[in-house]
Structures are given as structure tokens and as C-alpha cells.
Amino acid sequence: MMKTYELSLSPELQTLVEMRLDLVERVLIDARLSRSERSSILQELEGQILQLIERRTEHPTREDVLAVLADLDPPEAFLTETDEWMQDSSRGRTASSRPLPQKASNSTPPAQPPLLAIWSGVLVGGTALMTGFLMCTAVWMLPELVLGLVAIIQIVALIGAGLGMACLLRSKPQPASGLERALASASAATAPLTLLFLLAMASLFVLENEISIFVLSGFVGGACIHGAWLAVTTYMLWVRRLQRTPETSTS
């Protein structure tokens, strides 16, 4: 009887293996294989990966795992095999009627951040920048302390929106640099301030009981900055996804 696996991978290394398995599963889903067939193929593949790592070293590092993954067939190779399987199959579906499968890469995920995140960041951030600039210029001139505080908050939020925009504009196919991540984090940190700003404007409206141009533009500005924060959050999530993806290469 053959022995079973004795190797225990750290959570980080296990994640690398699971990400490769996820890519293969995506290809198998595209090929419309049933869950049990996918499970069978993935179990075989995982077993093979573990056995290859086990043979390589008793104490695997990230490099060992990546080297093993790089020696495997790319995930899309499974598509070629299963595609013919589907054509031969008598399941009543034809391969030509299937939607075109998404190409899955074993090396890197689609590296470009989503266009939606970039453009929403640029548009919303741009609007927030302009509104914020007009607002703090107008509010800063008023003597009331509250409005002064609001102006400070607004300035901070303004800087955050600007930084967020810079991050989005600097989006590159490669994972973001440390500086970009720091800027995105700073921008995200302006969210509570934005909410505070909205609250301050709302209370002013209640106290004064009149809709002034400041209150109105305050609502608009706050909403815009909050929108920018949402766009930056989307971007940050994308960056995190890029970082979590192993940088393997096919041989």
C-alpha cells in the first residue's frame, strides 16, 4: 500500500496551491464539467502537487512551491482536454453552443485594475477635488468656529481625495508599490472625516433652518468625496488581490 501525504504546508504555501487549483477549477467550470468530475480532477492535481513538493524538500519554501507549480501544465491545458471530452460526450450539449471560456492564466491574474475603478476614481475624485476647493475657500472666510472646523475637515478630505486620485491614475499592470498602498490607505482614512463633514453640514441645516449655498454644496461635496473613497476602496481591494496571487511562470 502506498503511503499518503506526510507533508504539512504552512497557510501561506497552502494558499499558493489553492490559488492554482482555483484557476484550474475555473477552466473546468468553463468546460461545464460536473462538480464530481471537477472534484476528482482537482484532488488528483492537489495530490500530485503535494507529492512533488514532498519529494523536493521536507521543509518547503515559497520558492519550492512556485517551482513545482511552474513545472505543471498551465490551467488552460485542461480546457483543451476537456473541450474534446465535451464534444465526444453524449450530454446533449455541443461545444460550439458554449460561451467562449475565459482564458485562465497560471502565472498572473488579469493584472489591469478594472476600468470601472479607474474611471470612477478619476471622475468622482475630480468632482470632489473641485467641489472641495470651492467649499473650503468659501467656508474658510467665515468667522464661525464650527465652519472653521468644517473647513479643516474638508481640507483633510480634499487631500485624501487627491491622493486617492493619484493612486488610481498611477494604476499599472504590476502590483502597486508601497507608496501607492500608503496613499490609498491615507485616502481611505478620510472616510470617517467625510461622514463627519456631512453630519456637520446637516446640523447646520437644522440649526439655521435654511438652505444656504454652503449647506447645499456641503452635501454635494461630502457625497462626492465619499464616492471617491468608495472608488479608492475598490482599487485597494484590487491591489490586495494582485498581491495575493503567486507569481509563477510556465516552463
Partner 1 sequence: MWLTQLRKGLVQFAVLLLLRNREAYGYQILEELSQSEALQVTESTLYPVLARLARDGALAVRVEPSAKGPPRRYYRLTTVGRRQLSDMQTQWVAMSESLQSLLQGVSHDENV
Q: What amino acid is encoded at 26 in this protein?
A: R
Contact window for partner 1 (CB under 8 A) among 58-66, 80-88, 155-163, 226-234: 80-88
10 binds partner 1 (CB under 8 A): no
- Binders in 14-53 for partner 1, by CB under 8 A: 33-34, 36-37, 40-48, 50-51
The residue among 3 and 209 lying less far from partner 1, judged by its C-beta, is 3
Residues 6+ apart with CB under 8 A from 208: 215
Following DSSP, what letter does each residue of 165-214 receive, concatenated? Answer: HHHHHT--SSPPPHHHHHHHHHHHTHHHHHHHHHHHHHHHHHHH-S--HH
| 8 lies in the binding site for partner 1 (CB under 8 A) | yes
Cell of residue 155, nine digits: 481640507
Are 93 and 32 within 8 A, CB to CB? Answer: yes
- Report if residue 73 touches partner 1, rule: CB under 8 A: yes
- Give helix 62-71 / helix 35-56 axis angle, nearest 10°: 120
Binder to partner 1 among 4, 97, 209, 251 (CB under 8 A)? 4
Can you tell me which of 81, 155, 202, 220 binds partner 1, judged by CB under 8 A?
81
Binding of residue 78 to partner 1 (CB under 8 A): yes
Amino acid in the structure at residue 149: L
Cα torsion 168, 170, 175, 178: sign: negative
- What are the backbone dihedrals phi and psi of residue 107, each rounded to the nearest 5 degrees, phi first? -95, -60
Binding track, positions 164-183, relative to partner 1; x by CB under 8 A: --------------------
Stretch that binds partner 1, among 79-87, 111-119, 136-144, 195-203 (CB under 8 A): 79-87
- Minimum distance between the CB of residue 182 and partner 1, rounded to whole angstroms? 39
If one asks whether residue 70 binds partner 1 (CB under 8 A), the answer comes out as no
**36 or 209: CB nearest partner 1:** 36
Nearer to partner 1, 31 or 167 (CB): 31
Three cell numbers, residue 243: 498581491
Which contiguous run of DSSP H or E holds residue 151?
A: helix 145-169
Q: Which residues form the interface with partner 1 (CB under 8 A)?
A: 2, 4-8, 33-34, 36-37, 40-48, 50-51, 72-73, 77-78, 80-82, 84-85
